[in-house]
Amino acid sequence: MMQIAYLDCHSGMSGDMFLAALLHAGLSLETLKSALSVLPIDGYEITCEPFQDKGIGGVQCHVSIPAEEQPHRHLSDIRALLRASALPPAIRERALAIFHCLAEAEATIHNSSIEEVHFHEVGAVDAIVDIVGAAIGVETLGITQLYASALPLTSGHVQTAHGLLPVPAPATLEILRRVAAPWKPCPVEAELVTPTGAAILATLARFETPFIAIEHIGYGFGQKRLPWPNCLRLCLGQTYGTGLDGEADTDWVTVLESNIDTMSGELLGGMMERLLAAGALDVSYSPLQMKKNRPATLLTVMCVPQQSDLFAQILLRETSTLGVRIQQVQRLKAQRTQQRLDTPLGPITVKIKRLGEWIISAAPEYNDCQCIARERAMPLIEVYEVAQHTIATTLIKETRALLSKRSANPLVQ
């Protein structure tokens, strides 16, 4: 089973509330401090204190920083800071993905590019600690998937570096709009979902209620006093009974995108070969229309996080693009295996899709079918039909037998 977590965001979400919930759910403060110590920043202190509100006990997390004004960092500064650290690649790329999410929202609001965006509050040391700490906590607790509830839609105003802004803050709304996050009305005039909290949710979580056997609960309290306990509730546990009768694999990948309108089809074809040869997991092209109705191509590259810099540099050097969008995403993957099956026409390799022990689908290998069709002077479609019949009477039969066994004995897993 997979270790997953569910966030009950009944009172919103902020970076310090998420960090506090992780600490109350089992993340060691010493482990967190040790992992953060490799960042090239200093002058801050993290404390984690017991806290109780309306009879519910949990913790509050505080990141104390000097009183002087914090520098207004750009995304490039944050990127350099993270990559100058000794953080493990998975944690570093996950934190950078959260900052990318913030930068994209700010760029949209201010009609600028992500590299031109000034991080004000979010570029301060306490926000960096919250975001990197969130990535550390998810990795340390072994959380393979994070889920979240609907968010409270409040009103009012909040003081920012740009002045007095409506609640939810424009960056918060833009971040959560992009992932179609669900909201529910809340009568309070207060900022309950911060841009940092929104970016963590948008980057790491899915807004769904999972099948979960809860093992640990963490309560992370915010700073505001509300008519209810102002806490983020984190439920940590294992998946069960997904209805798929099996488990998907999970991993993190980096997705790079760029709009290209000045390269020929031959050059794009050559670029695909170049990217795949360099180790890209996938490369795809999609048609799109740009400004002034110019036809263009959306180039999408998927790679392991450790190679994101390599592929970004290839795209900047070897294509006509002026910029590359980069984000880290989590994948759910079925297991894929191959098996040789004896058919009336001879052995054929079969590609099998599984979820755990269950065979979901299977298909014959094209090259094998094509060779048999040529050798026997048969239509390719007839070879496919023979192969599919063999698959149905052998491999699929295994799944049916397991289903019958489970129906006869509900305790069989």
- Four-point Cα dihedral 325, 328, 331, 336, nearest 10: 80
User: Which of 239, 259, 285 is the last residue in one of the domains?
Assistant: 239
Write the single-letter amino acid at 367. N
H or E element in which residue 303 lies: strand 295-303
Report the CATH number that the domain containing residue 402 is assigned in CATH.
Answer: 3.10.20
User: Which of 269, 302, 333 is the last residue in one of the domains?
Assistant: 333
User: Which of 204, 239, 274 is the last residue in one of the domains?
Assistant: 239
Low-confidence ranges of the chain (pLDDT < 50): 242-245, 410-413
Looking only at the bridges linking them, the beta strands covering 205-206 and 145-148 are parallel
141 in a domain, yes or no?
yes
- Single out the residue of 11, 17, 328 nearest to residue 196, CA to CA: 17
Q: Which residues form the domain of 376?
A: 335-408
Cis omega (within 30 of 0) for bond into 168: yes
Whether 329 and 342 share a structural domain: no
Whether 323 and 340 share a structural domain: no
413 in a domain, yes or no?
no
pTM: 0.63
**Contact by Cβ (8 Å): 321, 310:** no
Predicted pLDDT of residue 402: 55
Whether 231 and 258 share a structural domain: no
Predicted pLDDT of residue 243: 44
Tokens of 118: 């000034």
> Number of folded domains in the chain?
3
Tokens of 132: 């990197």
Whether 31 and 175 share a structural domain: yes
185 in a domain, yes or no?
yes
**Contact by Cβ (8 Å): 185, 122:** no
Contacts of 110 (CB under 8 A, 6+ apart): 116, 117
